[in-house]
Structures are given as C-alpha cells and as structure tokens.
Amino acid sequence: MPITSVALIFGGRSAEHEISIISAKSIAGNIDKERYGVTPLYISHDGTWYLDGIARDILNFDLAAILRNASLEKASSTIKEMVRKAGQQPFDNDFRSAGIDVAFPALHGSYGEDGRIQGFLDTCGIPYTGCGVLASALTMDKALTKLCVADAGIDVAPSITFFTADYHTDPQTVAAGIEEKFAYPFFVKPSSLGSSVGISKVNHSGELSAALETACSLDTKVLVEKAITGREIEIAVLGNDNPVASVCGEIEPGSDFYDYQDKYIDNKAKLFIPARIPEELQEKVRRTALKAYKALGCRGMSRIDFFVDEKTGSVVLNEVNTIPGFTDISMFPMLMEASGTGFRELTDRLLQLALETGR
C-alpha cells in the first residue's frame, strides 16, 4: 500500500499558537507511520510558513514543559528564537510539488479554526481533516453559533453582543446596558477565540471594566452571557454524513471556571469519563450534540460543550470546537478512546474522512 503524505499544519497567528504546537506533537506521535508520512508545516507567529526543517524541530521540542514551568511569554519567545536562528526559507505553498496528499490542520483559534485555512486548502485542491469553510467560520463565532443552534431548537444561555468599536466610543453606555440586562455573575467573552482565551467571569461591578477591556483587546465583537448553573459536559462527534457521538465527559474546573490556566498549565481540573449524570440524561446530551453538529453543517469532527442541570434535566449548549485540542490532556481524544476509538485509530479515521470528501 502506498504511503499517504500528510501535511501536519500547526502554529498560526492566533493566541492559541503554543497549544497548537502541543496538539500537533500529540497527533504526530499517534499517526500510523506504516500508512502515512507526516511532513510538519509550521506557521510562525507572524504568518510565515515553513515546511519540514525548523517545523520538525519545533514539533519535536518539549514546549509543554516550558508552559508548565515558566510562562506563555517564555514559550512564545523560545519558539521565535528557534525560527530566527534557523534562517530557513519560507514554504512557497505549492502543496502538489511538495507531494502532499492531505492536510491535517492542528491550528486552534483565528486563522486556523475559522474557515480561512480551510478555504485556502480548498483553493489549492488539498483535502483536509475537520469541518469545511462554512461550519468552521460559523462555529468560530460564539454569537452566531448560538443563533443557529437556537433556531434548531437547542437551548442556549441568554446573552447580548456588542462591537469593540462601540465600546471604545462609549464604554459607560455599553457597561450600563450589560448591568441592566444581567445580574452578577456573568461571563464576558471574545466572540471568536478558543481555549478560554480572554474570558472573564464577572462577579461584581468592580470587575466589569477590566473584563471588557480584556475581551475588546482580543476581538472586534464581544459576547456577554448569563452564568449557567450545571455540570460542564463535553461530547466528541466524529463523522461526515453519518456522525457518531462519544460517551459524555465531565469537567470539574480546578478554579472558578475552566480557563486557559486551568486547561493547559495548572492541570488541576478533574475529568470524569463517563460523566456523573444519569444514563437517560447522557443520551439526551448525545442526541443534542448530533443535532447541533448537523444544524451547523459540521463534518469530520467537533467537540460540543454543554451545561447540564441534572435536577431540571436542562441541556444548554455552551460552544462548538471544530479543531479541538489534541494534547495528552485533551477531552476529544480521551472521549473517543472511551468510546472505543483509540488515538491512532482516531487520526486514521479523520484522515480517511478527509479523503472521502474529496475536498
């Protein structure tokens, strides 16, 4: 059987650059080398593409250790220095001449999970894992995701959105409108970032200004959302026309909520697979996840997150991630493994789903 050449794309221009590198390292370690040849394709912080060479060096680098023992800034500067010293010529984006058969984007957040890389690969005629342009762009915007799934009859948290430009023009009016709409606590989120980057839980009026400034510094649109009581339940969905949902997983945050620090650095959150909710409620969550997946036009994979109240039976969609984390502590591969699909089989299935679509 001929070897299929896979471009593993990672890094990128988003705030989740370093997490993308760690995800890619895990993916590379779990691809069947007898079936696939992996060529690392690194996108630097400034958007420069590098094929193999420094890309392979970064892929093999233990960035996770720096994040655990130092800081995000230290990790970022270390990678930038590696690129500078390498002095490698950028990739010319000629995938066909490079012998690439299929791409595996491990890019989280803006410029990777939002439809832009998907559209570029479509233009180049290269199949790729995960969702297409429309679903990627739609689910990256939390506000638009809520509108779409609500139209499909799925419950979402009450929310309002505003534009950063309007906040900068009249911050007092925006803040007053938020306080009129919501009682404390509530969440302030950049509309189009992942990994909980820039999200603040606002417990009282003294915290509102800083939360708004943080979100507005990261995105042009901001979502303010009522805090929902319930267990944090996640579902992995895999497939194209006939997707399947994993068992339910539950996250018990190690801090006030499951933020970036808790996800990738402190590692204090507790994970429960299966989730600690009744079987009939788990089935309801799985059905709702598949309904959302189809309503949003997802293909390949997504991780769909909910708040679930076992007392009332309510299932409230939180967000959808079309390129979920693939680190060694990420829920998507762990949920799939608990459902009978190990990490190596998962990477194979994702690549086969990509080739199946012919994108």
What's residue 2's pLDDT? 77
Q: Which residue type is seen at 20? A: S
CB 269 within 8 A of CB 196: no
Prediction pTM value: 0.90
CA distances from residue 278 to 201, 214, 251, 305 in whole angstroms, order as listed: 28, 38, 16, 17
Q: Which residue type is seen at 59? A: L
Residue 258 has pLDDT above 50, yes or no: no
Q: Which residue type is seen at 111? A: Y
Please indicate whether residue 88 or residue 264 has the higher confidence score (pLDDT).
Answer: 88
Longest dimension (CA), the chain: 65
- pLDDT, tens only, 174-194: 999 999 999 999 999 998 865
How many residues in total does the chain contain? 359
CB 164 within 8 A of CB 171: no
Calculate mean pLDDT across residues 294-309: 97
Calculate mean pLDDT across residues 218-240: 94
Calculate mean pLDDT across residues 156-165: 95
What's residue 16's pLDDT? 85
76-85, 247-256, 282-291: least confidently modelled range: 247-256
Provide the phi-psi class of 300: left if phi over 0, else alpha when psi is between -120 and 50, else beta. Answer: left
Which residues on adjacent β-strands are paired with residue 104? 8
What's residue 320's pLDDT? 96
- pLDDT, tens only, 304-330: 999 999 899 999 999 999 999 998 789
What's residue 267's pLDDT? 62
What's residue 255's pLDDT? 58
What's residue 262's pLDDT? 46
How much of the chain exceeds pLDDT 90, in percent?
Answer: 82
Q: How far apart are CA 282 and CA 335, in angstroms?
A: 13
**Residue 163: which H helix or E strand, with range?**
strand 159-163
4-8, 159-163, 194-198, 325-329: least confidently modelled range: 194-198
What's residue 358's pLDDT? 63
Residue with tokens 């506000």: 143
Which residues on adjacent β-strands are paired with residue 239? 300
- pLDDT, tens only, 96-153: 999 999 999 999 988 999 999 999 999 999 999 999 999 999 999 999 999 999 999 9
Residue with tokens 């992995």: 236
Which domains does the chain carry?
4-128 (3.40.50.20), 139-155+229-357 (3.30.470.20), 159-226 (3.30.1490.20)
What's residue 181's pLDDT? 95
What's residue 212's pLDDT? 96
- pLDDT, tens only, 68-77: 776 788 888 9
DSSP string, 102-142: EEEE---STTTSSSHHHHHHHHHT--BSS--HHHHHHHHSH
CA distances from residue 290 to 130, 236, 237, 296 in whole angstroms, order as listed: 15, 10, 7, 10
Give 269's pLDDT tier (boundaries 50, 70, 90).
confident
| DSSP structural state of residue 356 | H
Please indicate whether residue 48 or residue 261 has the higher confidence score (pLDDT).
Answer: 48
What's residue 15's pLDDT? 81
Residue 264 has pLDDT above 60, yes or no: no
Calculate mean pLDDT across residues 251-272: 65
- Of the candidates 203, 222, 220, 204, the residue with the CA atom closest to the CA atom of residue 212: 222
Residue 196 has pLDDT above 70, yes or no: no
Average pLDDT, the chain: 92
- The number of beta carbons lying within 10 Å of the beta carbon of residue 17 is 23
Three-state SS annotation for the chain: CCCEEEEEEEECCCCCHHHHHHHHHHHHCCCCCCCEEEEEEEECCCCCEEECCHHHHHHHCCHHHHHHHCCHHHHHHHHHHHHHHHCCCCCCCCCCCCCCCEEEECCCCCCCCCCHHHHHHHHHCCCECCCCHHHHHHHHCHHHHHHHHHHCCCEECCEEEEEHHHHHHCHHHHHHHHHHHCCCCEEEEECCCCCCCCCEEECCHHHHHHHHHHHHHHCCEEEEEECCCCEEEEEEEEECCCCEECCCEEEECCCCCCCHHHHHHHCCCEEECCCCCCHHHHHHHHHHHHHHHHHCCCCEEEEEEEEEECCCCEEEEEEEECCCCCCCCCHHHHHHHHCCCCHHHHHHHHHHHHHHHCC
How much of the chain exceeds pLDDT 70, in percent?
Answer: 94
Residue 292 has pLDDT above 60, yes or no: yes
